[in-house]
Structure 1
Amino acid sequence: MSGKSALIYSPDFSRYSYGAEHPFKVQRYRLAYELIQAYGLTRIPGVRLCQSRPIAEEQLLTFHSPDYLAQLKEFSTAEEPRADFRYGLGDTENPVFKGVYDWACLGTAGTVEAARLVAEEGYDFAFNLAGGWHHAHRNKASGFSYLNDAVIAINVLLAKGKRVVYLDLDAHHGDGVQDAFYDSDQVLTISLHESGVYFFPGTGFENETGAGKGVGYSVNIPLLEHTDDALYMKAFDEVAFPLIAAFDPDVLVTQVGADTFRTDPLTRLEITTHAYSYIIRKLKALQIPWIAVGGGGYDIMNVARAWTIVWAIMNGIDLPPALPSSFIKIIRPLGFPHKMLLDAMHWADEDDRNRALDAVEKSVAAIKKTIFPVIIGEYGQTSGK
């Protein structure tokens, strides 16, 4: 591989607001970038720091409906609060604020630029911090997501004849991306997430395996609350990794949400930096051109630590566990107690863990029965490129 990597970042990522009481805080982008800089990770040979290029509406229309885009654009310029629940706009989940269309376009453009750099300029890795809006649907905002950047960028890759794996590590099911490619055999979607039985968005079960040509190309591993590092790695190792290796895509697109972490206020998984780092290292070892996009995370220090780990591993850097003193000076006035990049491994209580283990084993068995014959049977058992 060429050794070229691109980090997509703009100060404008943090210049909008969902509202003081909303759990999604745009300051996460600045904090993640500050930690990446504090470790010196923007000054590595082969690294390029990029901003988004303007995105054309015709690119958005490769997924989103014209009427939805028109409504989002109109609401974005309004001086007074607006709402249209047909499109999921204006409720407490997906507030409409001035400039929301421009802000959503900015993040989407970053993921499209990452796809261009990988597909056209031979970059090995590109990471858009402000991507990962996996809940947006064709004509509806959902789950804090207004435009589905991953779908639009994958459409760019498909137009260039690329086959793609989309891997979603967010605690919430990547429903918008799954739906977009549910009948396609050119995109293999894999999502590890907290079970939708009692958790948003209420989808992502093992029997959601695709339709038409896409049967066998949608893979879901629903996890019970208290799933810890060992169980998360087991699910990845027994399902996601062999499927990615067998499918052997031209491009890997990974949503790297940090809301799986055990201290996230909105979720009930118990992942630490140990499992997160382990999975990112195994993906790097596949040597597949790789686009990473942000995603969830509602403890913004978790987000900063997680995405710094992603960027470091992409670039082959082992980081010291202590946070840089320059970064501690930034976070101390904000009241953050964190002093370390890495967490100690955590084990759930025995009864909770046994229930979570049973759920993982059930999912693995179901997927091996329904998905493996399609993907591994079609493409053959491989160990990657």
Structure 2
Amino acid sequence: MPVPRTALIYSPLFGSYSYGDDHPFKLQRYHLARDLMDAYGLLDLPEMEIRDCRPVDEQLVLSFHDAAYIDRLKEFSLSDEPRADFLFGLGDADCPVFKGLYECAALGAGATWEAARLVEEEGFEVAFNLAGGWHHAHRSRASGFSYLNDAVLAINWLVARGRRVVYLDIDAHHGDGVQEGFYDSDQVLTISLHESGIYFFPGTGFEEETGEGRGCGYTVNLPLIAHTDDAIYMKAFDEIVYPLIAAYDPDVIVTQIGADTFRTDPLTRLEITTHSYGYIMRKLKALKIPWVALGGGGYDLMNTARAWSIAWAVMNGVELDPRLPDSFVRKVKPLGYPHRALLDAMHWSEEQERNIALEAAEKSIARIKELIFPVIIGRYSPA
């Protein structure tokens, strides 16, 4: 029996925890995305599997995270009472403390490790963990809804096995925790396209942040300003991301494919749609590099469900009907979702705002070509 090409990592426990009714990070989006995939027939394809997962091993957790931070995280996870320790970033509005917190984070990180293991050990071409992408978690501090940095842990495991990895982050927020994990490494090329930290959380991710020591030139940041639309976003990807990945030619690519870049996301000001999102998924698939995909952000739940369904379809080489399945529409309509379309038309932002966004993107692209291309393109491209 042939080995399945793709794997979707999914635990029935995803979404069983809650950050609180008023918190923008709704874990129920995993169920919504899975429901849409199911309605499209994407969960019973002949060359895919759905795999469950277990919590991440603590030894792997300590490959990045500080032991004192993990001890406090576990302590708070056992409590029924509100707790806070701002030294470790716990208990504020972004990173609330709730019973089962550590188990929730460890399960998501375990799912990402399982995705990496399937690609590395079982020969899957793609493994997708919806509940991954907690890219703001730092070595000894929770941040930005993130408690354990699943991407860093899984990449550490891959690097320990001798693999060179590209980490690509297309979430609207800078992948600052992952950058921290590999800022001095030349075994991991981290690339983040995000809304500019000049005015936006987490306030980092500028072009001059390029790594240090052996890692100098292996950290790539492409900040984009408000009103960046589909065409600008695709230009940035084509001129920076694609040639760098092709030149570095990694053994594995790990992507954080958050959908909070979409123009109707309530927390961000970028203006992309399914048009450029799908374009990037297809370009990544065309690389034919073993691929670990992680969900990431997305605070309009229907945007997230549509984006991840598109991504999973691309990963499996399936074309989807541009209209949502009737069964799914009937299911979500009582929940207040009026959506009928899977795909959006290509979007152009207003002319004056677009010109400003384009000029800023072109300056960033030029700066990255100056700072990064001599290191990566120069070193890894054939003579």
TM-score by length of 1: 0.98
2:169 aligned with 1:134, yes or no? no
Distance 1:181 1:312, change over 3 A: same
Letter in 1 for 2:319: D
2:8 pairs with 1:39: no
- 2:100 is aligned to 99
Correspondence 1:187 to 2:188: yes
Three-state SS of the structure 2 residue aligned to 1:14 is: coil
Name the SS for the 2:41 alignment partner: coil
For 1:182 and 1:381, the matched residues in 2 are separated by 25
Paired residues of 2:10 and 2:130 also in contact (CA < 8 A): yes
**Alpha-carbon distance in 1 for matches of 2:30, 2:4:** 25
Counterpart in 2 of 1:276? Answer: 277
Partner of 1:231: 232
Q: CA deviation at 1:328?
A: 1.0
Q: How does 1:218-297 map to 2 (within 5 A)?
A: 218-297=219-298
Deviates more, 1:12-21 or 1:126-135: 12-21
1:314 aligns with 2:295: no
Distance in 1 (alpha carbons) for counterparts of 2:12 and 2:183 = 35
Match of 1:73 in 2: 74
Instruction: Give, in whole Å, the separation in 2 of the partners of 1:259 and 1:381.
Output: 37
Moved more, 229-238 or 329-338: 329-338
CA distance in 2, matches of 1:368, 1:381: 18
Whole-angstrom CA distance in 2 between matches of 1:108 and 1:18: 17
Q: Which residue of 1 aligns with 2:113?
A: 112
Q: Residue 25 of structure 1: SS of its match in structure 2?
A: coil
1:165-205, Cα deviation, whole Å (9 max, x unpaired): 00000000000001110000000000000000000000000
Amino acid at match of 1:52: C
Residue 119 of structure 2 aligns to which amino acid in structure 1?
V
Quick check: 240-249 or 318-327, which moved more?
318-327
* SS of aligned partner of 1:193: strand
Q: Who is 1:298 aligned against?
A: 299
In 1, distance between residues paired with 2:51 and 2:10?
A: 6
2:58 aligns to what? 57
> Secondary structure in 2 aligned to 1:191?
strand
Percent identity, aligned pairs only, is 68
Instruction: Assess if the C-alpha contact under 8 Å between 1:173 and 1:201 holds in 2.
Output: yes
Contact preservation (8 Å) 1:2, 1:124: no
Task: Give the Cα separation in 1 of the matches to 2:313 and 2:299.
Answer: 22
- In structure 2, the partner of 1:5 is 6
Verify: 1:121 aligned to 2:122, yes or no: yes
Deviations 1:56-110 (A, max 9, x none): 2111001101100000000000111100000000011100011010000010000
Q: In the TM superposition, what is the alpha-carbon distance from 1:53 to its structure 2 partner?
A: 2.5
TM-score by length of 2: 0.98
Counterpart residue identity of residue 207, structure 2: E
8 A contact 1:133–1:150 mirrored in 2: yes
Structure 2: distance between partners of 1:170 and 1:118: 22
In the alignment, the residues of structure 2 paired with residue 381 and residue 295 of structure 1 have an alpha-carbon distance, to the nearest angstrom, of 34
Q: How many residues align?
A: 382
1:155 offset after TM fit, Å? 0.5
State the alpha-carbon separation in 2 of the partners of residues 331 and 208 from structure 1. 43
Letter in 2 for 1:63: F
Structure-1 separation of matches of 2:276 and 2:117: 30
Matched AA of 2:133: G
In structure 1, C-alpha distance between the alignment counterparts of 2:338 and 2:268, rounded to whole Å: 20
Give the CA deviation at 1:55: 2.1
Contact 2:4 2:49 (8 Å CA) reproduced: no
CA distance in 2, matches of 1:327, 1:11: 20
Residues 289/258 of structure 1: CA separation in 2 closer, same or farther (3 Å cut)? same
Checking the alignment, whether the CA contact within 8 Å between 1:245 and 1:381 is kept in structure 2 is no
Q: Distance in 2 between matches of 1:171 and 1:261?
A: 9
Unaligned runs of 5+ in 2: none
Partner of 1:174: 175
What is the RMSD of the two structures over their aligned residues, measured on CA atoms?
A: 1.1
Residue aligning to 2:162:
161
Instruction: Quote the residue 2:372 is aligned against.
Output: 371
Do structure 1's residue 337 and structure 2's residue 338 form an aligned pair?
Answer: yes
Q: Which runs of 5+ in 1 are unaligned?
A: none
Asked if the contact 1:191/1:220 (under 8 Å) is kept, the reply is: yes
The DSSP-based 3-state class of the residue aligned with 1:48 is strand
Letter in 1 for 2:87: R
- Write the distance in 1 (CA, Å) between the matches of 2:381 and 2:164: 16
